[in-house]
C-alpha cells in the first residue's frame, strides 16, 4: 500500500466531484498531495514555484472556467504567500480550493522548521476553513475527510463562490517506496442539488407597482463577467422601456446605443444643475464593485428615493451608495427577464404608450454620454503621446472575441475612459475584488491557459515588475499578449490631487526606476518589442495579435510629466 492512502482517496474524490485543474508550488511537506495529483490521469497539474504567482494563476484559470481550481503548497510561510490571491478571490467571488500541507500540530512552537499556526490562517477571507486529521487509523478519520471534501468542494462553488481552505497535516514518510502501487479508492460522492430562488407573486406585484409609479429609473451595473442572456435583456430594457442602463468597462456592457458608458467623465463635471438632472428616482444596481470615485461619489451625493439591489446570495447587505431600500435576492437574469416580460404584457393589455418623461430622462443621460465622448475624443486628439493615447490605440486594435485583463492603478482607469464598442465582443476582466496591483500579470497568465482566445493584459510598470514571477512557469500560453505602459514610476500618484502636491511625491510615492522588460522577456522566452511614439505603436499593433507559439510583450515607453500634463488638460476641459 502506498504512503498515506487517504490522500490518494482525497484527490480521487475531488476529481469525481468535478476538479480538473491543480496548481502546485513545490515543497517537501506537501509531497504526498503533489504526487497524488501528478499521478492522477484526470487532472491537469501546473507547477508555479512562487506561491503568490501560483495563487493568482489559479485565480485567472477559475475566472475562465467558473469552477474550482485547487492550489497545493508546502507548510510555513509558503501558505501566507497565497493570501493576496485568496482575498482577491474572496471579494471577486471566484472558487479556489486551498490544500495547504502542515506539520502535525503537536510540533507547533517547538522550534521545528516551516511550522506556523496554519489553522484558520486566512481568517475571514475564505468561506470556511477545515483542518484534517494527521492520523488515519480510526475509522472516523477517513469518514471525516470524505465528508469534508464533499462539503468544501460544494461550498467553494455555491453562491457566492469563493476560496475554501483545507489544511492537511502530514506525517513522514512523505514519499512512496519503489514498487508501491497507486490505486485510489472510490470515495462516496455526496451530491448537492442546485436551487434557483424566485420571488412570490405578491412581491412581484409590489415591485411592479413601485416601478410604474416612478418616472426616472436607472439600472447601474457593477463588475460582472460577460453573460449573453444578461446582456440581451438589458439591451431590450434600455431600448424598449427607455431606461438608462449604465456601466463602466468592467460591467461588460460595452458601448452602444443601448448603454451609457462614459460615467467617469459624465459624473466628474462640476455643473450641479446638470448633475441633479441625472439623478434617478429609482436606482437598480447589480453586480460587484464599481470602479471610479466619480461614480461612487455621485450616487452617494445624489441618492435615489428608491434603491433596489439585485443580489442573489450572501449574508452581507451591500449598500455601496448608502441609499439601499430593497434587497432582491434572485439572479439578475431571472429578475430582469421577468420584469421585462411582465411590463411588456401589462403595457400591451392596458394599451400604454411610451412615457414621455421616461424617454426624456433617457435622452438626458444619452446626451451627457455623447458630450463626454466628445470631451474624451478631443482630449486625445490634442494630446501628445501618452499612456492614455496608447491605451486608446491598443483597445481599438483588440481582436474581436478576445479577452482583456486590466491591471489596477491607471491602466484600468484609462481603459474605462476610452471604452470598448459592444461590437468588438471583447470580454473584460480585472482584479477589482481588492483592487491591488499584485498578481495582475499572473492572473492573465492563468486566464490565457483556459481559453483559446487572445488574452491581452494592459499593465503598468510597477504592477508588471512587482509580479514578473508570474512568468516563471513552464509552458507559457502563446495566446498571451502583454501591453506594458512604462513611464518609469507609479504614475497614478502624479495624477491624484493629494499626493501630486506633496514634496515627497517622487521619492516616497512614485517609486521611480530605470527598468525595462527586455531582460525579463529574454529570461522567460517572451517575444519583446518596444515603442516610443504613435507611429511605431501603430506599426507594432499591426502584427502584435497574430498567432504565435509564445507570448508577446509590447513595451510602450512614455514620459510621466507629459502624462500628467495631458490628464490635467482633460480635467480642465470638464
Please, where are the H alpha helices in 419-549? 440-449, 461-466, 492-495, 497-500, 518-524, 534-544
- 429-479 pLDDT, tens digit per residue, is 999 999 999 999 999 999 999 999 999 999 999 999 999 999 999 999 999
- Superfamily of the domain at 383-573: Thiamin diphosphate (ThDP)-binding fold, Pyr/PP domains (3.40.50.970)
Mean pLDDT of 175-194: 86
pLDDT per residue over 384-433, tens digit each?
Answer: 999 999 999 999 999 999 999 999 999 999 999 999 999 999 999 999 99
pLDDT of residue 499: 77
> Average per-residue pLDDT in the chain?
94
Q: Which residues lie below 8 Å from residue 493, measured CB to CB, with a gap of 6+?
A: 499, 500, 505, 509, 510
User: Strand 403-406 vs strand 427-430: parallel, antiparallel, or unpaired?
Assistant: parallel
The span from the CA of 16 to the CA of 513, in Å, is 49
Quote the pLDDT of residue 352: 67
Is residue 322 within 8 A of residue 346, CB to CB? The reply is no
pTM of this prediction?
0.95
Where are the extended beta strands (E) located within 125-275? 129-131, 163-169, 217-221, 245-247
For residue range 37-67, what is the model confidence (pLDDT) as tens digits?
999 999 999 999 999 999 999 999 999 999 9
Residue 24 scores a pLDDT above 60: yes
Residue 341 in this model has a pLDDT that exceeds 90: yes
Whole-number Å distance between alpha carbons of 318 and 411: 27
pLDDT number for residue 486 = 97
- Cell digits for 466? 512587482
Q: Which residues contact 325 (CB under 8 A, 6 or more apart)?
A: 306, 307, 308
Nearest-angstrom CA–CA distance, 242 and 66? 33
Judged against a pLDDT cut of 90, whether residue 194 lies above it is answered with no
118-160 tens-digit pLDDT:
999 999 999 999 999 999 989 899 999 999 999 999 999 998 9
DSSP 98-139: EEEEE--GGGTTTT-TT----TTTTGGGSS-EEE--S---ST
Q: Span 1-7, mean pLDDT?
A: 73
| More confident: 491 or 333 | 333
Write out pLDDT tens, residues 380-391.
999 999 999 999
pLDDT at 159: 86
What's the CATH code, domain 5-169? 3.40.50.970
Contacts 24+ apart (CB under 8 A), 360-365: 361/215, 361/216, 361/217, 361/218, 361/242, 361/244, 361/280, 362/238, 362/242, 362/243, 362/244, 364/277, 364/278, 365/218, 365/244, 365/246, 365/260, 365/278
Residue 2 clears pLDDT 70, i.e. is over it = no
Answer yes or no: same fold for 201-371 and 383-573.
yes
Backbone angles phi, psi at 299, to 5 degrees: -75, -15
The answer to whether the bond into 160 is cis (omega within 30° of 0) is: yes
Assigned superfamily of 201-371: TPP-binding domain (3.40.50.1220)
What CA–CA distance (Å, rounded) separates 151 from 127? 11
- Tell me what pLDDT residue 157 has: 95
CB atoms within 10 A of CB 349: 8
Contact between residue 170 and residue 9 where contact means Cβ atoms under 8 Å apart: no
Distant-in-sequence, close-in-space partners of 6: CB < 8 Å, separation ≥ 6: 136, 141, 142, 145
The pLDDT confidence band at residue 353, using thresholds 50, 70 and 90, is low
Neighbours of 344 (CB within 10 A): 14
Domain edges within the chain: 5-169, 201-371, 383-573
3-state secondary structure of 432: coil
Rama region for 326: left / alpha / beta (φ>0; ψ in -120 to 50; rest) = beta
Q: 1 falls in which pLDDT band (50, 70, 90)? A: very low
Percent share of the chain, pLDDT over 70: 98
C-alpha to C-alpha distance for 98 and 129, rounded to whole angstroms = 9
Q: What is the pLDDT of residue 500?
A: 76
E-state strands within 366-514: 403-406, 427-430, 455-460, 480-486
Asked whether the predicted pLDDT for residue 204 surpasses 70, the reply is yes
491-532, pLDDT tens digit by residue? 788 787 777 778 887 887 888 899 999 999 999 999 999 999
Question: Given this model, what pLDDT does residue 179 score?
Answer: 79
> Is the model's pLDDT at 273 over the cut of 90?
yes
Amino acid at each position: 500500500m502506498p504512503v498515506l492512502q487517504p490522500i490518494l482517496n482525497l484527490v480521487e474524490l475531488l476529481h469525481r466531484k468535478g476538479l480538473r485543474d491543480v496548481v502546485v508550488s513545490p515543497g517537501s511537506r506537501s509531497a504526498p498531495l503533489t504526487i497524488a495529483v501528478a499521478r492522477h490521469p484526470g487532472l491537469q497539474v501546473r507547477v508555479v514555484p512562487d506561491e503568490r504567482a501560483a495563487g493568482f494563476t489559479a485565480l485567472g484559470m477559475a475566472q475562465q472556467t467558473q469552477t474550482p481550481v485547487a492550489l497545493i503548497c508546502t507548510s510555513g510561510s509558503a501558505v501566507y504567500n497565497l493570501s493576496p490571491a485568496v482575498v482577491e478571490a474572496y471579494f471577486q467571488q471566484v472558487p479556489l480550493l486551498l490544500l495547504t500541507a502542515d506539520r502535525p500540530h503537536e510540533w507547533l512552537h517547538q522550534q521545528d522548521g516551516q511550522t506556523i499556526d496554519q489553522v484558520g490562517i486566512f481568517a475571514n477571507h475564505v468561506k470556511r476553513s477545515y483542518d484534517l486529521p494527521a492520523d488515519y487509523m480510526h475509522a472516523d478519520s477517513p469518514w471525516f475527510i470524505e465528508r469534508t471534501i464533499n462539503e468544501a468542494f460544494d461550498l467553494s462553488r455555491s453562491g457566492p463562490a469563493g476560496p475554501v481552505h483545507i489544511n492537511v497535516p502530514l506525517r513522514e514518510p512523505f514519499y512512496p517506496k519503489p514498487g508501491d502501487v497507486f490505486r485510489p479508492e472510490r470515495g462516496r460522492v455526496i451530491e448537492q442539488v442546485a436551487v434557483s430562488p424566485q420571488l412570490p407573486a405578491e412581491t412581484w406585484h409590489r415591485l411592479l407597482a413601485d416601478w410604474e409609479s416612478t418616472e426616472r429609473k436607472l439600472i447601474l451595473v457593477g463588475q460582472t463577467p460577460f453573460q449573453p442572456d444578461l446582456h440581451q435583456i438589458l439591451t431590450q430594457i434600455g431600448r424598449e422601456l427607455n431606461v438608462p442602463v449604465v456601466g463602466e468597462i468592467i460591467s461588460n456592457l460595452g458601448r452602444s446605443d443601448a448603454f451609457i458608458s462614459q460615467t467617469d467623465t459624465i459624473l466628474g463635471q462640476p455643473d450641479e444643475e446638470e448633475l441633479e438632472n441625472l439623478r434617478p428616482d429609482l436606482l437598480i444596481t447589480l453586480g460587484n464593485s464599481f470602479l471610479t470615485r466619480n461614480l461612487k461619489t455621485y450616487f452617494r451625493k445624489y441618492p435615489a428615493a428608491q434603491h433596489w439591489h439585485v443580489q442573489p446570495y450572501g449574508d452581507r447587505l451591500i449598500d455601496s451608495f448608502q441609499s439601499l431600500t430593497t434587497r432582491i435576492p434572485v439572479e439578475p437574469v431571472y429578475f430582469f427577464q421577468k420584469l421585462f416580460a411582465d411590463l411588456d404584457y401589462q403595457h400591451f393589455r392596458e394599451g400604454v404608450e411610451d412615457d414621455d418623461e421616461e424617454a426624456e430622462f433617457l435622452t438626458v443621460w444619452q446626451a451627457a454620454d455623447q458630450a463626454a465622448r466628445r470631451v474624451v475624443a478631443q482630449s486625445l486628439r490634442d494630446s501628445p503621446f501618452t499612456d492614455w493615447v496608447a491605451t486608446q490605440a491598443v483597445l481599438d486594435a483588440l481582436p474581436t472575441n478576445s479577452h482583456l485583463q486590466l491591471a489596477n492603478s491607471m491602466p484600468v482607469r484609462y481603459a474605462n475612459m476610452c471604452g470598448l464598442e459592444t461590437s468588438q465582443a471583447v470580454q473584460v476582466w480585472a482584479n477589482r475584488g481588492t483592487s491591488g496591483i499584485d498578481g495582475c500579470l499572473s492572473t492573465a497568465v492563468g486566464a490565457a491557459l483556459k481559453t483559446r482566445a487572445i488574452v491581452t493584459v494592459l499593465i503598468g510598470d510597477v504592477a508588471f515588475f512587482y509580479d514578473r514571477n508570474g512568468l516563471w512557469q513552464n509552458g507559457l500560453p502563446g495566446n498571451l499578449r502583454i501591453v506594458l505602459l512604462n513611464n518609469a514610476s507609479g504614475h497614478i500618484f502624479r495624477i491624484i490631487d493629494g499626493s501630486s502636491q506633496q514634496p515627497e511625491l517622487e521619492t516616497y510615492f512614485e517609486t521611480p526606476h530605470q527598468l525595462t522588460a527586455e531582460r525579463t522577456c529574454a529570461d522567460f522566452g517572451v517575444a519583446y518589442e518596444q515603442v516610443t511614439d504613435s507611429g511605431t505603436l501603430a506599426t507594432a499593433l499591426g502584427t502584435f495579435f497574430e498567432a504565435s507559439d509564445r507570448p508577446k510583450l509590447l513595451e510602450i515607453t512614455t514620459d510621466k510629466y507629459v502624462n500628467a500634463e495631458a490628464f490635467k488638460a482633460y480635467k480642465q476641459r470638464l
